[in-house]
Structure 1
Amino acid sequence: MSRHVAIVTDSTAYLPQRALERHRITAVPLTVVLGDRALEEGTEVSARSVAQALRKRTSVTTSRPGPEKFAAAYQAAAEAGAAGVVSLHLSAEISGTYDAAVLAARDARVPVRVVDSGMVAMALGFCALAAAETADSGGSLDEAVAAAEKRAADTSAYFYVDTLDYLRRGGRIGAAQALLGSALAVKPLLQLDSGRIALREKVRTASKAIARLEEIVVERAAGPRPVDIAVQHLAAEERAVELAERLRARVPGLAELYVSEVGAVIGAHTGPGLVGAVVSPR
């Protein structure tokens, strides 16, 4: 059965495969360049491979999808019967993915609304789910866009990394911020702020940083609305699972709790040891 509004996102949303299939969401892959090999995220390269390469100091970079990848996704949606497409992507402040989607949308057979979510990982994933659920219930193109934008406005993302060096190498934070963290031997807590990665707090040890991350999430999740939470990591499964279980016990309004490893693209910029949490009220 065709749907009036199709939903396209990119591979950095890190939605579970069952969610992509259930809501018929198309995820266009970004590329990871591992040494001299260009590989598509999600099918050709894993987060674990990236973590191993980073530990060995192998060159790891990432690149946006070409506009032709988005053009193919929009064409497929039109051929499947969609009268319009909502195309939701990671923050334009940290990737050129949004720009590539905008270029492709100009020549699409059906109207395409390209949305800069200002988010990444499951913070983007929750926005895509909001748009898809609206489309599933018969909502219009404008209504699906509005649902995604509202979800983005209400969603917060926080994360801990063992070192700021990987973010510095990829140009996602300034050298001065990275140097400050190294010089003071602190463990950084970061957040998404207006689509950019910003330093929220500096904590002395990894265990204290994770404990503080937990407190921030519990505070942010308080309120009358049901809330979805995602705990994501790179090569730090034990930390992530333990954090998720504590949050399950402490957040009374919890609706869905996702625990997963991030993909290769985000892993390339954060490095092993990442633990992040996304708080998304419904």
Structure 2
Amino acid sequence: MDDLKIICDSLSDIPQSFIDKYDLDIVPLTVILEGKEYRDGVDISNDEFYRILREGKVYPKTSQATYTQFKDIFEKYTNQGKKILYIAGSAVATGTYQSAVMAKNDIDGEIYVYDSNMLCFGIGMMVIKAAELSREGKTIDEIIAVLDKMKEDVFVLFSVDTLEYLQKGGRISSTKAAIGSILNIKPILEIKDGLVSQISQVRGKKNVVSKIIELLKANCGEDLSDQVVYVGYSDDFKEKEQLAKAAKEQLNPKEIVFFQIGACIGTHGGPGVTGIMCLRK
């Protein structure tokens, strides 16, 4: 559909190659770092963000995308006569979705605000599918029907290297973080019902990759030759390669595509986050 504009927000961590290929617009959330505000993916690069976190005890915060941001971008495309499909990060995890709904209600035009109930590239997988379907000429209703099913099938797993950012962000208690650090516990997390949830844990970083692969097999099957698997990383390039190698050898995916986890997701996970995403069978 040439008259459909697909928009998402920076929680989706979509690589530039996909943004260019499908002419996507990304609404940036704000990262607050040492009292200074940065638009995620615009004013600060991912590598620079993780370098700052590594070099000092810095605990960033995030701020949702605003009503004004959405009003501006929605009006830009409705004024061109386009329909809009905005695929949002999980509404239970961020107020960004609500900002978009408020803006939509104040604008004349055909605007669809869709809650992905996902975070990180779990959103991105849905955005790419929507863009593919749009190019095939599918209607908005047909695209949303596919997204509704996909929402149940996207499986996101990731591990954090340190518990302190989850603790600072209020995701886990200080007691749990302290015990986990002493015991060198590495939690394996998933996105469940729109929020981050612990699915398992291991002792020591060397056991992370094998546990992630084990959980993938249990949830998605042992043969992924019919689908693309997405491997996400922050600044741990070694673990990224280890995870990709293990996935290729044990799951036989059609393709492995890498993406870097951006500053907004990185705010809550910290440096050293590694993850993988595919579809449940």
Structure 1 gaps of 5+ residues are none
Q: Residue 31 of structure 1 aligns with which residue?
A: 30
Q: Residue 64 of structure 2 aligns with which residue?
A: 64
Letter in 2 for 1:243: L
For 1:77 and 1:225, the matched residues in 2 are separated by 38
Letter in 1 for 2:77: A
Give SS of 1:65's match. Answer: coil
- The question of whether the paired residues in 1 share the 8 Å contact of 2:10 and 2:29 is answered with yes
Q: Residue 157 of structure 2 aligns with which residue?
A: 158
Give SS of 1:109's match. Answer: coil
For 1:81 and 1:136, the matched residues in 2 are separated by 18
Per the TM alignment, residue 206 of structure 1 is displaced from its structure 2 partner at its CA by: 0.8
Per the TM alignment, residue 90 of structure 1 is displaced from its structure 2 partner at its CA by: 1.3
C-alpha root-mean-square deviation of aligned residues, in Å? 2.1
Give SS of 1:181's match. Answer: helix
Identity of aligned residues (%): 28
Q: Does 1:215 align with 2:186?
A: no
Residues 81-103 of structure 1 deviation map (CA, whole Å, 9 limit, x = unaligned): 31x22111111222111111111
Within 5 Å, which residues of 2 pair with 1:133-282? 133-175=132-174, 177-182=176-181, 184-222=183-221, 226-252=226-252, 254-280=253-279
Q: Residue 46 of structure 2 aligns with which residue?
A: 47
Per the TM alignment, residue 175 of structure 1 is displaced from its structure 2 partner at its CA by: 4.5
Q: Residue 15 of structure 1 aligns with which residue?
A: 14
Structure 2 gaps of 5+ residues are none
Give SS of 1:277's match. Answer: strand
Per the TM alignment, residue 124 of structure 1 is displaced from its structure 2 partner at its CA by: 0.5
For 2:202 and 2:241, the matched residues in 1 are separated by 21
Q: Does 1:101 align with 2:115?
A: no
Q: Does 1:73 align with 2:73?
A: yes
* Bigger mean CA offset, 52-61 vs 172-181: 172-181
Residues 192-246 of structure 1 deviation map (CA, whole Å, 9 limit, x = unaligned): 1111111111211111122111222244332688222111111101110221122
Letter in 2 for 1:77: Y
Letter in 2 for 1:34: L
Letter in 2 for 1:200: I
Q: Report the count of equivalent residues.
A: 279
Letter in 2 for 1:211: S
* Bigger mean CA offset, 17-26 vs 187-196: 17-26
Per the TM alignment, residue 184 of structure 1 is displaced from its structure 2 partner at its CA by: 4.1
Q: Residue 131 of structure 1 aligns with which residue?
A: 130
Per the TM alignment, residue 63 of structure 1 is displaced from its structure 2 partner at its CA by: 0.7
* Bigger mean CA offset, 167-176 vs 19-28: 167-176
Per the TM alignment, residue 7 of structure 1 is displaced from its structure 2 partner at its CA by: 1.0
For 1:3 and 1:68, the matched residues in 2 are separated by 26
* Structure 1 ranges of 4+ moved more than 4 A: 174-177
For 1:174 and 1:147, the matched residues in 2 are separated by 38
Letter in 1 for 2:267: A
- The question of whether the paired residues in 2 share the 8 Å contact of 1:113 and 1:145 is answered with no
Per the TM alignment, residue 174 of structure 1 is displaced from its structure 2 partner at its CA by: 4.5
- The question of whether the paired residues in 1 share the 8 Å contact of 2:14 and 2:259 is answered with no
Give SS of 1:58's match. Answer: coil
Give SS of 2:254's match. Answer: strand
- The question of whether the paired residues in 1 share the 8 Å contact of 2:162 and 2:186 is answered with yes
Residues 1:185 and 1:69: Cα distance change in structure 2 (over 3 Å): same
Per the TM alignment, residue 248 of structure 1 is displaced from its structure 2 partner at its CA by: 1.9
Per the TM alignment, residue 79 of structure 1 is displaced from its structure 2 partner at its CA by: 3.1
- The question of whether the paired residues in 2 share the 8 Å contact of 1:226 and 1:281 is answered with no
Residues 1:189 and 1:179: Cα distance change in structure 2 (over 3 Å): same
Residues 233-273 of structure 1 deviation map (CA, whole Å, 9 limit, x = unaligned): 11101110221122123223x23421122111111110111
Per the TM alignment, residue 281 of structure 1 is displaced from its structure 2 partner at its CA by: 5.7
Letter in 2 for 1:30: L
For 1:21 and 1:147, the matched residues in 2 are separated by 23
Per the TM alignment, residue 18 of structure 1 is displaced from its structure 2 partner at its CA by: 2.1
